Amino acid sequence: MFNILDKEQELNKLKMRIINIIAHELEHPLKRMLYCVNILNNYRGNLPDNEDINYCFKEMDNTIYTLLELTENVQIINQGSYEELYVNNSAFDIHYFVSYIIDDFNFSLLKRRDIVFQVKSNLDLIKNTQNEISNKDGQDHRKFMTNKKILSQIIRNILSNAVKFSKRNTVIRVTLINNIKNAEIIIKDNGIGIPKNEMDKIYDLFYKASNALNTEGAGIGLLVVKSALEILGGTIKIESELGKGTTVSCVIPNFEHLII
């Protein structure tokens, strides 16, 4: 019995190593393709304003970015290949960073759907057309230290799921609670929810809920989030109600506080 389990574990490790190698090998060709597309974009002014041409450029951009994100997600799941990212921590304004990611995500994806973000924080982060930020407690608790690249992947994967499983004309609420020791990011959608009897499977590789089998995606989003949070020393909590939506809460430690 133990031999069978050992062999199964070794086989799974081998599969993940192979997937990781493929992802790594794909990353550089995709970046070269993106570079070429960007060059072509510079010459779009010389082309006729054709709907088919504009569509092709948009699809090339979206496809390459999607594949690049997939390669990064696979490498995050294979945490060993990301050990070097521990040393890439940097200090930054976490409120501005979260707002920037949401704006960028909205520009690249959500404008194709009628979905609105509501963003707030314990520092009364107020987003309007000028992206103004007001801080009513008189103190600046925005400075935060962690790996920005990994944090970005965490937020983007959760947002991607929230959008994917939400209907049109809905609101996705993002809350940021930041203090000296850590930051909590809460993302709540009003989507299809996860069946209660399947909650223990949500971090399984390639898992899709029974009510989401026909949706796009590889079924690795939440596993990526969990793996990324483990790299940062953080935690994740997910609450979901079928037909009413899902709330994902992530707590990320402030490395600046940990090294003092």
Verify that 231 and 104 share a domain, yes or no: yes
Host domain of residue 7: 2-77
pLDDT value, residue 127: 44
pLDDT of 16 > 80? The answer is: no
Tell me the pLDDT of the chain averaged across its residues. 73
pLDDT of 205 > 80? The answer is: no
Final residue in a domain of this structure, among 39, 55, 77: 77
For residue 49, give the CATH number of its domain.
1.10.287
82 belongs to a structural domain: no
pLDDT of 196 > 50? The answer is: yes
6 belongs to a structural domain: yes
DSSP type of residue 216: S
Alpha helix stretches (DSSP H) within the chain: 2-42, 51-77, 94-108, 148-164, 221-232, 255-259
Beta bridge partners of 144: 92
Verify that 104 and 169 share a domain, yes or no: yes
Residue 56 — pLDDT band, cuts 50, 70, 90?
Answer: confident
pLDDT value, residue 252: 92
In single-letter form, the type of residue at position 21 comes to I
Q: Are 204 and 223 in contact (CB under 8 A)?
A: yes
Q: What is the pTM of this model?
A: 0.68
Which candidate, 216, 252, 217, 248, places its Cα nearest to that of 234?
A: 252
pLDDT value, residue 140: 54
- Alpha-carbon span 148 to 89, nearest angstrom: 7
Tell me the pLDDT tens digit for each residue of 121-172.
Answer: 776 544 433 333 334 444 455 688 888 888 988 998 899 888 888 877 788 8
Verify that 35 and 91 share a domain, yes or no: no
- Alpha-carbon span 75 to 205, nearest angstrom: 13
Q: Which residue has the higher pLDDT, 68 or 36?
A: 36
- Alpha-carbon span 218 to 195, nearest angstrom: 19
Question: Structural domain tally of the chain?
Answer: 2
Q: Which residue has the higher pLDDT, 188 or 26?
A: 188
Verify that 52 and 116 share a domain, yes or no: no
244 belongs to a structural domain: yes
Q: Are 18 and 81 in contact (CB under 8 A)?
A: no
pLDDT cut 70: percent of the chain above it: 64
- Alpha-carbon span 36 to 48, nearest angstrom: 20
78: phi then psi, degrees, rounded to nearest 5: -85, 80
Verify that 117 and 50 share a domain, yes or no: no
Q: Which residue has the higher pLDDT, 54 or 103?
A: 103
- The helix/strand/coil state of 155 is helix
Strand 182-188, strand 143-146: pairing: unpaired
62 belongs to a structural domain: yes
pLDDT of 251 > 50? The answer is: yes
204 belongs to a structural domain: yes
Q: Which residue has the higher pLDDT, 91 or 6?
A: 91
Across the range 80-89, mean pLDDT stands at 54
